[in-house]
């Protein structure tokens, strides 16, 4: 693939990203994430929401037809179970004002939150673009993928609760050398086939790129190699909405050089930082 072709492919990738982040359930549409530990109202939507019995996925909502809540295609009249994203078939939720909802589980599936999505959110209305570096072929890195022993984990922390460890399976280590420096990065399964999720930081963070770090989704090859195309590094969801709690780069994934490739920041229609 020529640099021109690769650059064109990257332009298409960025165009798709623009459409996805501003979609009805894209990160710009998320207006609330509220954890439920007892029967309670949830900001921005009708109904009373409460936990389900232990071992049952999701939340229970109590509402009347005038509340306009529709779960799995049926209007809610009374109390209805709303299945979470860890269920065999997660529930769909629609509200009368056009908003939608999803139920997410915590890491050990013991508590659940309602996420509220608004396809006409203020963030979507203000959104202009995702700023990105121009294509740089030097940041397409061929690395070695070294499988780890079964059961190996990596300690992952999130920006809103740094004291809480959320261990993730570590299928292998990614090793490469650049400018005389050896790197050994840790990536965990992304939930999308064989793709991995690499949460990384570099010296551009908080300067020319989003402060928390960025994501990359590489796929190991069958020959023990893995390609890291940092031109396809993307911003984490928390760059688009404060209602996400994003993982931060573990220490070994913080590169000591500027990675001037990939997405940089979310901009509004005037070209200023969105938030």
Q: State the pLDDT at residue 123.
A: 97
In a domain, residue 253? The reply is yes
Number of domains composing the chain: 2
Q: What is the C-alpha to C-alpha distance for residues 253 and 186, in angstroms, rounded to an integer?
A: 7
Q: Residue 42, SS3?
A: strand
* Each residue's pLDDT tens digit, 136-195: 999 999 999 999 999 999 999 999 999 999 999 999 999 999 999 999 999 999 988 889
Q: Give the model's confidence band at 1: pLDDT under 50 very low, under 70 low, under 90 confident, else very high.
A: low
Residues 150 and 111 in one domain: no
CB-count burial class (<10 Å; 0-12, 13-18, 19+) for 195? middle
Alpha helices in the chain, H assignment, sequence order: 3-21, 122-126
In 3D, which of 135, 131, 104 has the Cα closest to residue 30? 104
At a CB cut-off of 8 Å and minimum separation 6, what does 150 contact? none
In a domain, residue 155? The reply is yes
At a CB cut-off of 8 Å and minimum separation 6, what does 71 contact? 61, 80, 82, 91, 92, 93
Residues 188 and 94 in one domain: no
Which of 73, 98, 118 terminates a domain? The answer is 118
Owning domain of residue 48: 27-118
């Amino acid at each position: 693939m020529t640099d021109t072709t690769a650059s064109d492919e990257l332009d298409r990738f960025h165009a798709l990203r623009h459409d996805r982040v501003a979609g009805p359930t894209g990160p710009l549409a998320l207006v609330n994430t509220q954890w439920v530990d007892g029967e309670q109202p949830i900001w921005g939507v009708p109904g009373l929401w409460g936990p389900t019995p232990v071992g049952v996925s999701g939340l229970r909502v109590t509402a009347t037809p005038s509340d306009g809540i529709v779960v799995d295609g049926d209007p809610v009249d009374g109390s209805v179970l709303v299945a979470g994203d860890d269920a065999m078939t997660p529930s769909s939720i629609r509200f009368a004002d056009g908003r939608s909802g999803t139920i997410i589980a915590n890491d050990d599936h013991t508590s659940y939150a309602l996420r509220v999505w608004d396809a006409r959110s203020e963030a979507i209305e203000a959104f202009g673009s995702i700023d990105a570096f121009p294509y740089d072929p030097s940041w397409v890195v061929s690395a070695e993928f070294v499988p780890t022993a079964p059961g190996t984990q990596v300690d992952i922390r999130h920006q809103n609760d740094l004291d809480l460890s959320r261990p993730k399976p570590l299928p292998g280590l990614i090793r490469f050398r650049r400018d005389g420096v050896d790197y050994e990065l840790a990536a965990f399964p992304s939930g999308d086939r064989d793709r991995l999720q690499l949460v990384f930081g570099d010296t551009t963070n908080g300067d020319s790129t989003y402060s928390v770090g960025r994501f990359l989704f590489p796929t190991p090859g069958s020959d023990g190699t893995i390609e890291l195309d940092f031109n396809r590094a993307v911003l984490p969801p928390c760059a688009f909405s404060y209602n996400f709690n994003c993982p931060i780069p573990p220490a070994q994934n913080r590169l000591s050089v500027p990675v001037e490739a990939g997405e940089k920041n979310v901009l509004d229609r005037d070209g200023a930082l969105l938030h």
